[in-house]
Amino acid sequence: MPKAGQLAGDKDWWRGAVIYQIYPRSFQDSDGDGIGDLKGITQRLDHVAELGADAIWISPFFTSPMKDFGYDVSDYRDVDGMFGTLADFDALVARAHALGLRVMIDLVLSHSSDQHPWFAESRSDRTNAKAVWYVWADAKPDGTPPNNWLSIFGGSAWTWDGRRMQYYLHNFLASQPDLNFHEPAVQDALLDVARFWLHRGVDGFRLDTINFYFADKRLRDNPPLPEAERNDTIAPRVNPYNWQNHIHSKNQPENLEFLRKLRAVMEPYGAAAVGEVGDAQRGLQIMGEYTSGDDLMQMCYAFEFLAKDRLTAAKVVETFRALETAAPDGWACWAFSNHDVVRHASRWSLSDDAIKAYVTLLVCLRGSVCLYQGEELGLTEVEIAYEDLQDPYGIEFWPEFKGRDGCRTPMVWQMDNATGGFTTGKPWLPVSAEHVARLGDAGQALAGYYRRAIALRHRHPALSQGTQAAMEAEGEVIRFRRKAGDDEIFVAINLGARSAETAAPEGAWSSAADDLGAALPDAGGRIALGPWQVCVLKRKM
């Protein structure tokens, strides 16, 4: 049963929700050690509530050796000391719920840290109680790894272990061994982890690398991927990981039954999950498989809108048409930035006006929405010197790929000190002076626009939960309609730096977004859109 204090209400709260991602190392430091923590998050929750978010997603804060900054868990049921205590977490949940914010936490189930007691026991010999809890395999006769699978972080996905005289699988760092989901006891242990946090009051989970849980039981080689089909959506272009078609190392059909078990655990709590689908070729298809029906995950996100190339009107239309084919009953969670990609203000070289156009698009699309901390201020990617790098991914592929530190630098809160109010000590990553400057008029104006755009979504059921139809691109202008009951919305957005024109919809309409500087149709039924201008109309009933 849900723990007392968990937000009551519609179990479909997630549908159309606005979720604010918090990277705990970089949100707010409460004790001066230069690293953000749970108490710091609690201190700043008012900001998230005032922005209008429905929920927060907190990246990992569990006990960890921090080889991958929390995505290598050594104790799934405790808080790492650098972030605080379980009592601090309980206080955070209580404060969030008091503000009307639901709490989602990042569960990293596909792999653990090599310092987790489960792995320590598993690697000790081949006959212990947890001997099959991880993916172990014998070497080929010549001593090489059992197959050709590659790690996203570079090199082979297999590391030799002299204790067992076998290789173990790791799709990421060698210090992140993959759990063996073919073993029922592993599934049961991880479902118990979910129950532990649900009982503490969490409202849901972000599921890291949701499509990596199972590996092919026969450990067959991945086939090569034709050069024309390679892209750097998941891994940087310099990584040969992109040269394989990963049909055996992930995306296995057995995953669906585990996801049904997880959904059954969440259901009594009214909890929801959003899964990260890491696949460059079949992301939308997998999203559809994992979110279709009432017994799987509620939401997933693929990487179409996190890609390097600027999101154009044509690309949005192409994505939704593909989604309609691959996932007609699925539910997406859209984002432009997160802790793993270059911030979209920099990635797409956006002005503040362009950022406004894109967030308007985001809140008007069918699906749920995820915002990454600081994007409401227009924070850009920070250039990190090699000697300041923390991310092992960037260190491995420098300088062609500089890793993820540039999007993970500390959040800024006040202009009167060099760390932007993040810490009284030395921050774990440098604080950008440009970021501190964004706390001035320009950044505050953009944050105000975000609040109004989110409020627009909340005012109209058509935008948060309605159907979506008639999506088309006219040059840089994207047009579509949303509808829920009597609430019908027409959206036209100029995603370009030149003025454009489009036709108004037939019928009687009025402005739904005066406070966004939205354009209106003229007497001749045309809508003139300035660079990056939006038009949002509601049908008169």
166-169 vs 158-161, strand pairing mode:
antiparallel
Task: Check 29, 54, 114, 208 and give the catalytic one.
Answer: 208
Q: Which helix (H) or strand (E) holds 246?
A: none
DSSP sequence for 257-299: HHHHHHHHHHGGGT-EEEEE---TTTHHHHHHHHHSSSSS-SE
pLDDT value, residue 4:
42
Contact 453, 360 (CB under 8 A): yes
Quick one: which of 14, 15, 19, 16 has its CA closest to 373? 19
* Cross-strand pairs, 311: none
For the chain, report the end-to-end CA distance as a whole number of angstroms: 43
- Radius of gyration of the CA atoms of the chain, in A: 23
Residue type, 87: A
Judge residue 195's burial from the number of C-beta atoms within 10 Å of its C-beta, 0-12 exposed, 13-18 middle, 19 or more buried: middle
Domains by residue range for the chain, with CATH: 18-114+180-334 (3.20.20.80), 464-539 (2.60.40.1180)
Contact 49, 101 (CB under 8 A): yes
Task: Check 29, 68, 276, 375 and give the catalytic one.
Answer: 276
Distance CA 95, CA 46 (A): 9
Contact 116, 74 (CB under 8 A): yes
Contact 428, 25 (CB under 8 A): yes
Distance CA 125, CA 131 (A): 7
Contact 465, 484 (CB under 8 A): yes
Distance CA 383, CA 337 (A): 17
Q: Which helix (H) or strand (E) holds 537?
A: strand 534-539
Q: What is the pLDDT of residues 427-480, one digit of tens each?
A: 999 999 999 999 999 999 999 999 999 999 999 999 999 999 989 999 999 999
Distance CA 449, CA 60 (A): 29
CA distances from 220 to 131, 184, 467 (A): 21, 22, 42
Q: What is the pLDDT of residues 160-218, one digit of tens each?
A: 999 999 999 999 999 999 999 999 999 999 999 999 999 999 999 999 999 999 999 99
3-class state of residue 398 by DSSP:
coil
pLDDT value, residue 34:
98
pLDDT value, residue 10:
85
Please give the structure tokens belonging to residue 117. Answer: 């007691």
Contact 204, 14 (CB under 8 A): yes
3-class state of residue 449 by DSSP:
helix
Contact 178, 215 (CB under 8 A): yes
Contact 6, 201 (CB under 8 A): yes
Distance CA 143, CA 166 (A): 10
Active site residue 474: no
Q: Which residues of the chain have pLDDT under 70?
A: 1-8
The HSE-up count of residue 527 (CA atoms within 13 Å, CB side) is 28
Active site residue 121: no
Contact 399, 408 (CB under 8 A): no
Q: Which residues contact 295 (CB under 8 A, 6 or more apart)?
A: 260, 263, 264
Q: What are phi and psi of 257, to 5 degrees?
A: -70, -35
pLDDT value, residue 2:
46
Question: How many helices (H) and strands (E) in the chain?
Answer: 14, 20
Please give the structure tokens belonging to residue 462. Answer: 């058509």
Q: Which residues contact 275 (CB under 8 A, 6 or more apart)?
A: 206, 207, 210, 211, 290, 291, 297, 299, 300, 301
Contact 424, 416 (CB under 8 A): no
500-503 vs 526-529, strand pairing mode:
antiparallel
Please give the structure tokens belonging to residue 363. Answer: 């809140």
CA distances from 124 to 121, 397, 521 (A): 5, 33, 72
CA distances from 38 to 24, 61, 94, 128 (A): 7, 8, 12, 37
